[in-house]
Amino acid sequence: MSQSRTQSNVIQTRLDAVRKSLKAAGVQAYIQPRADEYLGEYVPAYNERLLWLSGFTGSAGYAVVLEQGAGIFTDGRYTIQVRNQAPADCFSYESLTDTDLADWLADQLPKGAALGYDPRMHTATWARATAAALTKRGLSLVPLNTNPVDANWHDRPAPEANPVTLFSHASAGATSVEKRQRIGKLLTREGVDVAMITAPDSIAWLLNLRGQDIPCMPVVLGSALLYANGDLIFFTDLKKIVPGAAAHVGEGVSFRAEAELASAIGQLRGLSVLADPEQSNAWCIQQASAAGAKVVEGADPVAIPKAAKNEAELAGMREAHLRDGVAVCRFLAWLDAEVDAGRFHDEAALADQLLRFRKQLPEFRDSSFDTISAAGANAAMCHYNHLNGTPALLPNNSLYLVDSGAQYPDGTTDITRTVAIGEVTEDMQRMVTLVLKGHIALDTARFPKGTCGQQLDALARQFLWAEGFDYDHGTGHGVGHFLSVHEGPQRISKAASRVPLMPGMVCSNEPGYYRDHAFGIRLENLVAVRPCAALAGAEREIYEFEALTMVPMDTRLFLTSLMTDAEIQWVNDYHQRVRAAMAPRLQGDEATLAWLERATRPL
């Protein structure tokens, strides 16, 4: 029997087992998202429910199991991958972006049928919107007490109990007590008794703890109740709590087993409870309402204080980027030497080499996300992952895009560089230059207090727009302090955002351009919002960006004929700062120093 047939039989057996559970629960369908109960970007192995159910390893999507048949919904990143992994005789392949779930279910199910869901794995906003959409079509959404995947996953791996790390108060710039009291005052001001804090990075920031529970983000999984007096109950795996943790977090914190969360929520009767419907899972909010609490829906109160970093956090971010710059410069110098010698590696080997350079740094803890190592036409897929298929060999006379980042105890990095491999076309150079012009326009922007990222997004796109081009991702996302590389609530994007950019917020500046089946371009630095010192006496309070990333851009790709004098000066000034910052740290590495000298020569 072939391997694919064996896999198909395994998946079919699992689907049939889930169907029996659905029949027992009295529902005709079930939806299993990739997300787990923590609703984060990354999922530990023991919560890879979608993988168990379908064989699909992608980072986004969901499966819907019906009494007869099933569908798997993914976006355009996974069109090929999902067909290779989820058996065609078990699933129909559906578009996450183009197929409306309620319409699809209405075509599959009779009137009066019910879609079962695990409310721990969906936001309250999703549950409310989906229930309304299904009701319009004569269907219903039913929460299940038992997850049918969990009930049938008999060889499910056990959770790892990795110990928490006590994060330095000096690096954090404040103790946990100070942070909790600060947020508690915000709750009091809003007339709230207690807040549900469910985002793992919010809890880590509040307690000055870090963990090893999931890849790429140093958090401890769990949930918390934060009271207006600053007291906090953290529900987590108690085996992770190390000696000294209680003293480190300070008075007012108690650690309890996750299994006690339900009973604790049940004791909130009569209290005003703040919950974020975009971050908290539906189960938490449903339990609070059932307990008789007054649920107040609002944004996570930790999000903005965490995002607006203090001076200690910013100092750590600057140092982390200088350190990371050493590794990335060594990689880019090595890459140029390999290409010059006629040695062309595949995407996986290139990503592994970059990781090796980072691992040479004693402070390196982990990657901050899966490296995007994209050769030639693969870079046209802006979130390409070389691990989703056979890594491509780097072709000569092409563009190479590498988007990567790292976690260090004092900061999180994220950088994208587009590199010339051999001789590139003038058209490639033209498109890179248009992207560069947008990058510069955003980097040099000055904007009044209260400005949101949406209002700045067009600065980065204007030169592409003028030529009839665009890109389909946001221009910038927030970045945490030794936390999530994709931190909210700030962003720079076409999408509506009412969150103003504030001093201390760190964002990416990453315009790009992607031509199908040809090449992809992205130029990304991280920047921090700061007051504009040059306009200290201005009529309005004005902010600007400070570039944190210190790595040369590939000037071989720039057409100075398309650039203004000011833009050329920006490149030269940036490269002068990079050279001054990196040269002392590369002493003794003559090959990389020589490369740095060449890479930062004035235009």
Whether 196 and 244 map to the same domain: the answer is yes
Mean confidence (pLDDT) of the chain: 96
Whether 140 and 235 map to the same domain: the answer is no
Instruction: Report whether 42 contacts 49 (CB < 8 A).
Output: no
Cα–Cα distance, 208 to 15 (Å, whole number)? 42
Q: Of 306, 328, 349, which one is at a domain's C-terminal end? A: 306
197-243: pLDDT as tens digits: 999 999 999 999 999 999 999 999 999 999 999 999 999 999 999 99
Q: By three-state DSSP, how is residue 236 classified?
A: strand
Q: Of 152, 184, 218, which one is at a domain's C-terminal end? A: 152
Predicted pLDDT of residue 387: 78
Distances 539 to 374, 394, 504, 535, 593 between C-alpha atoms, Å: 47, 53, 22, 9, 45
Question: Which range of residues forms the domain containing residue 402?
Answer: 311-446+507-531+548-599
Whole-structure pTM over 0.75, yes or no? yes
Q: Does residue 540 lie within any of the structural domains?
A: no
The count of structural domains within the chain is 3
- Which residue stretches of 26-168 are H helix? 49-54, 79-85, 101-108, 124-136, 148-152
Rounded to the nearest angstrom, the gap between the alpha carbon of residue 167 and the centroid of all alpha carbons in its chain is 21
Q: Does residue 377 lie within any of the structural domains?
A: yes
Q: What is the average pLDDT across 164-183?
A: 98
Whether 282 and 330 map to the same domain: the answer is no
325-368: pLDDT as tens digits: 999 999 999 999 999 999 999 999 999 999 999 999 999 999 99
- CA dihedral of residues 564, 565, 571, 576 (deg, nearest 10): 180
Q: Does residue 456 lie within any of the structural domains?
A: no
Q: Does residue 210 lie within any of the structural domains?
A: yes
148 prior amide bond cis, ω within 30: no
Instruction: Report whether 165 contacts 218 (CB < 8 A).
Output: yes
Whether 108 and 229 map to the same domain: the answer is no
DSSP 488-528: EEEEESSS----B--TT-EEEE--EEEETTTEEEE-BEEEE
388-423: pLDDT as tens digits: 778 999 999 999 999 999 999 999 999 999 999 999
Backbone angles phi, psi at 76, to 5 degrees: -65, -20
Please give the single-letter amino acid code of residue 194: V
Q: What is the average pLDDT across 576-584?
A: 98
Rounded to the nearest angstrom, the gap between the alpha carbon of residue 451 and the centroid of all alpha carbons in its chain is 23
Q: What contacts 175, CB < 8 A, 6 or more positions away?
A: 169, 208, 250
Cα–Cα distance, 325 to 80 (Å, whole number)? 34
429-481: pLDDT as tens digits: 999 999 999 999 999 999 999 999 999 999 999 999 999 999 999 999 999 99
Cα–Cα distance, 284 to 153 (Å, whole number)? 24
Residue carrying structure tokens 């990795």 = 162
Between helix 426-443 and helix 453-466 the angle, nearest 10°, is 150
Whether 429 and 578 map to the same domain: the answer is yes
Q: Does residue 325 lie within any of the structural domains?
A: yes
Rounded to the nearest angstrom, the gap between the alpha carbon of residue 503 and the centroid of all alpha carbons in its chain is 21
